[in-house]
Amino acid sequence: MSGLLDIKDLYVQYNTDDGVVYALNGVNLRLERGENLGLVGETGAGKTTLALSILRLLPDQVGEVKSGSIEYEGQNLLGLTKNEMKKIRGEKISMIFQDPMTSLNPTKTVGLQVREVLDLHFKELSSSEKQKKVDLMFHMVGIPPERQHEYPFQFSGGMKQRIVIAMALIAEPALILADEPTTALDVTIQAQILALMRLLQAEFNTAMILITHDLGIVVDICTKVAVIYSGQIIESGTIEDVYTKTANHPYTEGLFKCIPDLKTESARLTPIVGSMPDPEELPEGCKFYDRCNYRMDKCRDREPGNYVNGTHSIKCYLYEEKWSK
């Protein structure tokens, strides 16, 4: 049976003047209705490219899906026409970007911008029905509806992100892609926005992919987690699978060591040495080889498979014999 979102063996590249950038290299991901997935990885790992591929918003001429499929409720999004895709965006799948200013039009009132989503996707609603929905949405995101006649510059960063969340949710989409939605905000505001997203998402039974570089955020808000490295999902599972730390990909293990632990005394955090391989010249074998403390000869020559134990999957030879393929 098809899930809400089913991504199979997705390869995406950017064809630039300087060469081909291999951004996604065989991504597989599945999400059910109402589920929350944290997609974790460092800058350049392919997180945003994955979100843009789902929405078919890769840069024209440059971004190219080489192979694979992205199915939404059993329908391959890659086969839809531009007009069919317009109906999916906003109505079925919406996106919250990192910087709210890039999502808001500075020349229009915020109320008008939230309402535009309804004008586009819910033409059958009367004007007063739309207004009622807009008022309710402002109320739900914690902004007095009277303020909908103001412009983006009259709001703080946190308030602007609340407005963007209102825009993303007003059409009650089945899936939200939230790309680092709190990174541009102060720490105290981050917690408020995450709490708000969790509340609203439960209210609307919306599935969400929360894109972040912070494993700490994921545990508060998600039920599943996928770690992405060099355009590949190198570990995925439930929060329990990954956060109990009994079995992890060496990269995930390294990410955990970078999180301060208030319960133990340690003078320094342990960073992961080195950097991700050049996406224009990816190595043949394991993409984490150069940075891995457990590397073996075979890791350099051949790419490891995905080894599975129940809901937990790890792409690393350390699990070749213990888990099934």
Closer residue to ligand SF4, CB minimum distance, 64 or 253 = 253
Rounded CA separation 194/192 (Å): 5
Total interface residues for ligand SF4 by CB under 6 A = 13
Report the alpha-carbon angle 136-142-145, nearest 5.
Answer: 50
Q: Which of residues 103-162 bind ligand SF4 (CB under 6 A)?
A: none
Rounded CA separation 156/94 (Å): 23
Q: Which amino acid is located at 46 in the chain?
A: G
From 20-28, 44-52, 60-68, 312-320, give the range in contact with ligand SF4 by CB under 6 A: 312-320
Residue 320 CB, shortest distance to ligand SF4, in Å, is 9
Q: Give the containing element (helix H, strand E) for 165.
A: helix 157-169
From 58-66, 111-119, 123-131, 286-294, give the range in contact with ligand SF4 by CB under 6 A: 286-294
Rounded CA separation 194/177 (Å): 14
Strand partners, 236: 226, 313
Among 166, 217, 272, 286, binds ligand SF4 (CB under 6 A): 286
Closer residue to ligand SF4, CB minimum distance, 66 or 257 = 257
Contact between 317 and ligand SF4 per CB under 6 A: yes
Closer residue to ligand SF4, CB minimum distance, 174 or 286 = 286
Q: Which of residues 287-306 bind ligand SF4 (CB under 6 A)?
A: 288-289, 292, 294-296, 299, 304
Q: Which of 51, 3, 45 is nearest to 23 (CA)?
A: 45
Rounded CA separation 164/200 (Å): 13
Rounded CA separation 278/284 (Å): 12
Residue 282 CB, shortest distance to ligand SF4, in Å, is 13
Contact between 228 and ligand SF4 per CB under 6 A: no
Closer residue to ligand SF4, CB minimum distance, 29 or 299 = 299
Q: Give the containing element (helix H, strand E) for 192.
A: helix 187-204
Closer residue to ligand SF4, CB minimum distance, 17 or 297 = 297
Residue 248 CB, shortest distance to ligand SF4, in Å, is 10
Among 38, 63, 231, 250, binds ligand SF4 (CB under 6 A): 250
Closer residue to ligand SF4, CB minimum distance, 44 or 283 = 283
Q: Give the containing element (helix H, strand E) for 25.
A: strand 19-31
Provide the token pair at 152.
């983006």
The interface mask with ligand SF4, positions 64-93, x = CB under 6 A, is: ------------------------------
- The upper half-sphere exposure of residue 251, i.e. CA atoms within 13 Å in the direction of its Cβ, equals 28
Contact between 323 and ligand SF4 per CB under 6 A: no
Closer residue to ligand SF4, CB minimum distance, 31 or 316 = 316
Q: Which of 108, 28, 120 is nearest to 83 (CA)?
A: 120
Q: Which residues contact 80 (CB under 8 A, 6 or more apart)?
A: 56, 88
Q: Which residues of this protein are in contact with ligand SF4, per CB under 6 A?
A: 250, 286, 288-289, 292, 294-296, 299, 304, 316-318
